[in-house]
Structure 1
């Protein structure tokens, strides 16, 4: 009887698990160290690792796809994906996505220019009205940039690499981006001796998980935030950051 009772208890547990276990679909764009693919096509990066670990702890399956940023945002907006990995927070995005309680990385936004450039940057966008600024489509560059955007000359392209190619061909005077995305491209193009990073920084963006508002995800989001907080307290987030050479510890 004892063996029979044990078997029944195990079966009941497994049935309960199968009812609560779900599969979730996250999307995102290529972001060095945050979300990318290795040579075998496996999705890797800090954002992927954290999401996979949280879903594992919750007993859920997770599928992640990488695609252009605008498409990923549209997938979440229309409810075709459960979440996007790593977006910066903005009022526009808050209309169609619920952000995780805490960010999991941060990026200082800065200007890069040629070493022989006569561009002057002291933190005032008014000084750049005669210059052409290269930006990446879909990125959020902060509130100060938004306030001055209409008075600036911008060249919007699909990638940070395209902006640096424009810089090298004198089509833009500045590239606005963050060092984490810029430095691998600078190395890849072998232009480290030709460009410099300007200070001060423009702003600091924090990256979150953004969940669609088109699906019933309240319970999952609450559980996701709870597990993230546990990982933060235990030091797991610090350890995962170290894996990718990052030192950021998530905070509000």
Structure 2
């Protein structure tokens, strides 16, 4: 009898964690999270999240929705995590970020080839120009420090920002190449815009986990599996699959 009890206790103690189902959300973000032609959720963030959950023995459901709604879902605890958010002090109040980022977005200026805009890494050189920006985006600390002295035109999307540039409503726009490329292709303006150097800043994207859910054990396991994927090169390879550049951070 004692031997039977010992065997049962040993089996229970060595059993893997109970399989669970998790619910992630996110907004349409080219190459990071989007629907393919068959309506399936695809992208770098989806690939990584599904692979980690598979390794942990869990199932995962991902929904794509407007960013504001996705953030609210995580804030209120109606979703376990959001895929791809940049860090901000406000968001840190209601979400735990993954230990490491899984993609990077260099923020750059675009203008017309014949533009007289001068960008040398100093915002003072742009004070005579009108700059197109996208509502809610993070353009870095240096931009924030100079924003009050700049002429800004705010719109809701990258497409709207490029259209402003095409119709001479602005002199230059701020975005990142990952979001710019599909818009440039769809508008057929590849020869009508140029990207300026140097970059303004680099934003990093994370997984953000709701503080309203009991996720400590899952977050620790998720971070550990992500670290393994980073060390063995899987994260860099997946970035290359979506034609993204990524420098591994350990």
Counterpart in the other structure of 1:67: 65
Task: Say whether the 8 Å CA contact 1:102–1:250 is kept in structure 2.
Answer: no
Counterpart in the other structure of 2:183: 185
**Is the partner of 1:91 in helix, strand or coil?**
coil
> Once the two structures are superposed, what CA deviation does each residue of 1:49-68 show, in whole Å capped at 9, x if it has no partner?
00000011111111111122
Distance 1:70 1:138, change over 3 A: farther
CA distance, structure 2, for counterparts of residue 52 and residue 118 of structure 1: 47
> Once the two structures are superposed, what CA deviation does each residue of 1:195-228 show, in whole Å capped at 9, x if it has no partner?
1111111001111111111111111110100010
> Once the two structures are superposed, what CA deviation does each residue of 1:157-198 show, in whole Å capped at 9, x if it has no partner?
221111101111112221101111112211111111111111
CA distance, structure 2, for counterparts of residue 239 and residue 27 of structure 1: 24
Task: Say whether the 8 Å CA contact 1:133–1:175 is kept in structure 2.
Answer: yes
* Cα-Cα RMSD: 2.0
For the pair 1:157 / 2:152, whether they are aligned, the reply is no
- What stretches of structure 2 of length at least 5 have no aligned partner? none
For the pair 1:58 / 2:56, whether they are aligned, the reply is yes
Task: Say whether the 8 Å CA contact 2:104–2:245 is kept in structure 1.
Answer: no
For the pair 1:147 / 2:145, whether they are aligned, the reply is yes
**Is the partner of 1:193 in helix, strand or coil?**
helix
> Once the two structures are superposed, what CA deviation does each residue of 1:22-74 show, in whole Å capped at 9, x if it has no partner?
11111112221111110111111111000000011111111111122222222
* 1:23-42 pair list within 5 angstroms: 23-42=21-40
Counterpart in the other structure of 2:238: 240
**Is the partner of 2:118 in helix, strand or coil?**
coil
- What stretches of structure 1 of length at least 5 have no aligned partner? none
- 2:93 is aligned, of 86, 92, 95, to 95
Distance 1:131 1:193, change over 3 A: same
- 1:213 is aligned, of 207, 211, 222, to 211
After TM superposition, the score normalised by the length of structure 1 is: 0.89
1:238: Cα distance to partner? 2.7
1:130: Cα distance to partner? 2.5
Task: Say whether the 8 Å CA contact 1:241–1:248 is kept in structure 2.
Answer: yes
1:249: Cα distance to partner? 4.0
CA distance, structure 1, for counterparts of residue 75 and residue 134 of structure 2: 20
Task: Say whether the 8 Å CA contact 2:28–2:34 is kept in structure 1.
Answer: yes
**Is the partner of 1:130 in helix, strand or coil?**
coil
Counterpart in the other structure of 2:82: 84
Q: Which moved more, 1:226-235 or 1:194-203?
A: 226-235
Counterpart in the other structure of 1:197: 195
**Is the partner of 1:208 in helix, strand or coil?**
strand
Task: Say whether the 8 Å CA contact 2:230–2:236 is kept in structure 1.
Answer: yes
Counterpart in the other structure of 1:170: 168
* 1:224-239 pair list within 5 angstroms: 224-239=222-237
CA distance, structure 1, for counterparts of residue 126 and residue 77 of structure 2: 39
CA distance, structure 2, for counterparts of residue 168 and residue 48 of structure 1: 34
Counterpart in the other structure of 2:110: 112
